[in-house]
Structure formats: C-alpha cells, structure tokens
C-alpha cells in the first residue's frame, strides 16, 4: 500500500469509516474503550497530579486521550480483520476489486477519529468538573500534530491487524500490550522516570512521537524544533508502516487463499 | 452426612470444571498475558504515575494499593465470566435443570478464582519487592497473607453479584470493565480516600477492596494483625453481603426465567 492508493480510494475509505462508526456506536465494549476508560484514567490522573499545579491539567487531557487512542487501536483496530471474519464478511471483502488494506485503513480511520472523543471528554471533565483553565499554547502546532498523529496511528494499526490474524500467539498478548505502551510512550508522565534501557523501545513506537508532538504543542516552553522532529518521526514511521503493512496484507491473503483458511480462525 | 459429602463433591467439581471451562482456551502464554503480565503492567503504570505526582518516597502507597487491587482481575472478570458464561455457552438450562444445591453451585463458581486472585496479588508483591524496592521488613507476613485472602474473598463476593447481573444483560464486558476501572478510583489504590468528596467516600466504604488495601498498607507500615482486625472483619462482611445479594438474585432470576421461559433470551 502506498500514498497513491490512498488518494485513489479516498471515497471508499470515507464510506468505510462512516459505516464503521455507525456500527460501533452500539457496541458496549467499544464505547467503554473509547469513552469511559480514558475518562476514568483522566479522573484518576487529575486527582493524582493535582499537586503539580493547574498547568498540568492540559497534559492529563492530552495524555488520557492518547490512552484512549492506543486502547482503541490495540483492541478495535487490532481485531478489525478478525471482526470481519467473525461476522462472515471477510471473504466478500477480499474478493472485491478494492484492495483489502484500503478497507482496513477506512476502519482504522473511524477508530482513531472516534477515539479523539476521549480527548474532548477529558477536556470537558477537566474544565467543568475540576474548574481548570485549559489553554493550548500553540494551537496550530497542535492541529498539525493531531492530523499527523491520526495518520501515524492508522498506519501503525495496519501492521497490528494482520500480525494478530497471522499469529494467534501474538494476539494472546493483546491484553498485556495496553499498559506497557501507556508507560513507554510517556502519555501521562515523562519516560525519563523509566529505566534507561527502555528509552530506545519508546523511540521505536509511533505513539511516543505523537505524545511528544501533542504534549509539546500544549505546554509552555517546548521548542518548535522538538515538535517538528516528532512530526518527522511520525511521517517516517507511517511510511515504513504502510510499506510493511502492504507486504503483510499480501502475505496474509496469499496464505489464507493457499491454505483455504480465510474464514477460519 | 451423605448430603454433606454430596454437596462437597458438587462444590469441588463445580468449581474445578467451571474454572477449566472458563479457560477452555487455556494456553500458558494467554494465562501469563492476561493474569500476570497485564495486571503487573497496570501496577507499574500507576506506581510510576503516583511517584511522579508525589515523590519516590510514596512508591509504597501505590505499590501496595495496586498489588491488592490486582485481585479484582480474578474477582471481577473471572468470577463474572464463570457465572455469566453459563448463559453464553448455553449450559444455563442444564444447570437450572439439575436438583443440585444452588448455594453450593453458586459459591463454587468463585472458589478457584479466590486462589488464583491470591496468587496474582502475591506475584505483584514479589515484583514490588524485587523491582520497585518495596520494604516488607516490618511486615507481619502471615497477617498480610490473611489480608490478601480476606480481600480476595470479599472482591469475589462482588464478582458473584456482577456475574448474576450478567445473566440479564448483554453488555457483560462493559459492566465488568466499568466496575473494574471504578475500583481503581474508589478503592483508594491510587487516591487517598480522604481526598475524595464525601459522597465518593461513602461509595468507597461500601465497596470491597477499600478496607483490604488500608489494612495491607498498615501492616506493611508495621501494624499488627490485632490493629487491622476490625478492617478485615468489615471487609469480609462487605464481601459476604455482596455474595448473598448475588445468591438471592441468582435464585430470583432462576425463578423468573423458568416462569417466563426466558432462560436463554438475550
């Protein structure tokens, strides 16, 4: 998959995203993952970090929103192919002329966009329930960071989904992957607190760069160069992810057809 | 005597088989991921967040709170799915069709999860000592073990009630996750109860875990079993109340479902 494919099928991507959001609005697990869990984490963090002063509230809003984004990517996007399999729609989707990864890109777009609601709700909780005065220091940088982060998350999700399909053993670790990424990506506290050997792992995770860019745009004193570098890393990882995802989808579909296991888990 | 041995056999078989059935997908990797690694990662997250919020000197507060809170993984998710799974897997009519003692059948669903939950807490404490430097030198370890056992029983009581509710709701995982995450706030694992608003404190003290966590913190701080005994008795009482409410509901749902013919209606 490449950027040209995305541009060619943009209409399909939008329709898939719309349908996905409509379907998921009624799913209790998804509503919990996208809305309730990040809000509970935001509440906890606002209480725990209140000693850090009011300036820290916006950090919590962004950080708890990122936890929602990651959980959504892991559990919902991660199962986006398996979900089609469970509902018996995988075979027709694979058979249509539209590349299958385009469909999954649209589903991931829906998941990531609906997860942004958690950031909005976190903002409402911090502003109205806790009475914090929340300001985004560099709104334009924040907007661009958000757009690039969405792209980076979707691209990362395109790798996770086929990996979970091809390796049920890896998917078994799905539950265990949620909090380590919260830890390693510095969503709610700096990664400098963690042991030094974990830092290179953080650098390899696109959500870490999303956190650097989004936190940087909302807090005072961040140099623009730091935000630009995070943007660059997200774009770089997105391109790599798209390239790897393209190969993974080809391999996955070839294996499924060769082994006749498309509909089987 | 015969009835007693029959009920004991029923209790044991029920508890063992329901636990095996719950983990019918059991593979070592999946167990380690869901029951060991996930709770530990969660504990580390809140410990780092807590020490960042206050200071490294307060690490013990968060380690103990979150280590004890891990019992909710078995107590809430495990027990709920053991009871609620009967409907999902279509075995509820058979269960209700047997003449088996309902009290034994119901409480038997929690037994293995009590052992499993205790093991999870012990592992969490071990990591707390090894990796996070928790100091247990002044701790009465036997009293701490008793506290872990009481808190796990108490949390499983709430799990039995939740499991019962899962017989009448479709969104079992929504309810489970919601209760599990709310416990992170209300139990005092991460926020001192005294800092919560009064109405939240009232809820905290009506829930399991709250007093168990307080007792564990006191014990690690050097208190004796006698000092924390009132907390433990009340913790046990809270759990039993939830378990009994669950049992009453379980019996009532059986009665209603049989009368209306809605045993498997979602």
Query: Would you report the helix, strand and coil content of chain B in percent, each value rounded to 5?
Result: 80, 0, 20
- Cβ contact A36–B178 (<8 Å): yes
Claim: this prediction has a pTM higher than 0.90: no
- Cβ contact B45–A183 (<8 Å): yes
Closest CA to B179 of A24, A245, A36: A36
pLDDT, mean of residues A190-210:
92
Residues B32-52: tens digit of each pLDDT: 887 788 888 889 999 999 998
| Residue among B33, B48, B52 minimizing CB distance to A172 | B33
| Residues of chain B contacting A49 with CB distance shorter than 8 Å | 49, 52-53
* pLDDT reported for residue B219: 95
Is the pLDDT assigned to residue B147 strictly greater than 90?
yes
* pLDDT reported for residue B28: 73
Residues B189-209: tens digit of each pLDDT: 999 999 888 999 999 999 999
Return the residue in B49, B58, B124, B184 with the most chain A beta carbons within 10 A, the one to mutate for interface testing.
Answer: B49
Counted across chains A and B, CB pairs separated by less than 8 A come out at 85
* pLDDT reported for residue B211: 95
Give the other-Cβ count within 10 Å of B5's Cβ: 9
Residues A206-247: tens digit of each pLDDT: 999 999 999 999 888 888 899 999 999 999 999 999 999 888
Tell me the three-class secondary structure of A61-128, residue by residue: HHHHHHHHHHHHHHHHHCCHHHHHHHCCCHHHHHHCCCCHHHHHHHHHHHHHHHHHHHHHHHHHHHHH
* pLDDT reported for residue A10: 86
A90-99, A109-118, B84-93: least confident range:
B84-93
Is the pLDDT assigned to residue B25 strictly greater than 60?
no
* pLDDT reported for residue A258: 80
On average, the pLDDT of chain A sits at 86
Is the pLDDT assigned to residue B266 strictly greater than 60?
no
Q: What is the dihedral of CA B67, B72, B74, B75, to 10 degrees?
A: 140
* pLDDT-derived band at A262, boundaries 50, 70, 90: low
Would you kindly state where each structural domain of chain A is located, as residue ranges?
Answer: 3-259
**Residues of B contacting chain A (CB within 8 angstroms):** 27, 29-30, 33-34, 37-38, 41-42, 44-46, 48-54, 170-171, 173-174, 177-178, 181-182, 184-185, 190-191, 195-196
Is the pLDDT assigned to residue A135 strictly greater than 90?
no
Percent residues over pLDDT 70 in chain B: 95
- Cβ contact B41–A194 (<8 Å): no
């Amino acid at each position: 998959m490449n950027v040209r494919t995305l541009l060619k099928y943009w209409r399909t991507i939008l329709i898939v995203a719309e349908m996905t959001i409509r379907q998921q609005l009624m799913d209790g697990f998804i509503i919990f993952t996208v809305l309730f869990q990040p809000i509970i984490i935001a509440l906890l963090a606002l209480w725990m970090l209140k000693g850090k002063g009011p300036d820290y509230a916006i950090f919590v809003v962004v950080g708890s929103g990122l936890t929602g984004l990651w959980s959504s990517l892991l559990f919902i996007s991660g199962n986006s192919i398996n979900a089609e399999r469970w509902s018996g729609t995988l075979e027709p989707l694979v058979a249509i002329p539209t590349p299958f990864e385009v469909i999954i890109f649209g589903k991931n777009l829906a998941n990531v966009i609906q997860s942004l609601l958690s950031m909005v709700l976190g903002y409402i909780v911090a502003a109205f329930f806790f009475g914090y005065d929340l300001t985004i220091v560099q709104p334009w940088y924040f907007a661009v960071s958000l757009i690039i982060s969405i792209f980076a998350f979707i691209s990362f999700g395109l790798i996770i989904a086929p990996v979970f399909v091809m390796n049920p053993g890896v998917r078994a670790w799905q539950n265990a992957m949620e909090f380590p990424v919260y830890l390693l990506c510095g969503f709610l506290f700096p990664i400098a607190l963690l042991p030094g050997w974990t830092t290179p792992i953080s650098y390899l995770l696109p959500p870490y760069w999303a956190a650097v860019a989004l936190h940087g745009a909302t807090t005072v004193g961040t140099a623009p160069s730091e935000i630009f570098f995070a943007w660059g890393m997200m774009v770089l990882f997105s391109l790599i992810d798209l390239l790897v995802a393209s190969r993974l989808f080809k391999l996955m579909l070839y294996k499924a057809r060769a082994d006749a296991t498309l509909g089987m888990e | 005597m015969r009835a007693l041995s029959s009920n004991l056999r029923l209790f044991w078989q029920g508890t063992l088989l329901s636990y095996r059935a719950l983990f019918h997908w059991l593979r070592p990797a999946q167990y380690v991921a869901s029951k060991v690694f996930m709770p530990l990662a969660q504990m580390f997250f809140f410990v780092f967040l807590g020490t960042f919020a206050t200071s490294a000197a307060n690490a013990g507060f968060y380690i103990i709170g979150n280590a004890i809170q891990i019992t909710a993984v078995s107590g809430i998710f495990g027990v709920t799915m053991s009871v609620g799974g009967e409907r999902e897997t279509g075995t509820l009519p058979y269960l209700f069709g047997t003449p088996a003692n309902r009290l034994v059948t119901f409480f038997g669903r929690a037994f293995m999860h009590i052992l499993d939950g205790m093991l999870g807490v012990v592992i969490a404490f071990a990591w707390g000592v090894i990796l996070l430097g928790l100091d247990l030198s002044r701790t009465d370890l036997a009293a701490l073990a008793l506290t872990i056992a009481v808190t796990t029983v108490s949390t499983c009581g709430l799990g039995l009630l939740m499991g019962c509710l899962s017989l009448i709701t479709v969104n079992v995982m929504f309810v489970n996750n919601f209760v599990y995450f709310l416990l992170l706030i209300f139990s005092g694992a991460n926020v001192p109860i005294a800092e919560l608003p009064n109405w939240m404190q009232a809820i905290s003290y009506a829930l399991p875990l709250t007093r168990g966590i307080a007792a564990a913190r006191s014990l690690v701080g050097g208190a004796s079993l006698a000092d924390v005994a009132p907390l433990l008795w009340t913790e046990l009482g809270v759990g039993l109340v939830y378990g009994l409410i669950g049992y009453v509901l379980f019996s009532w749902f059986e009665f209603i479902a049989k009368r209306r013919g809605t045993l498997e209606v979602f």
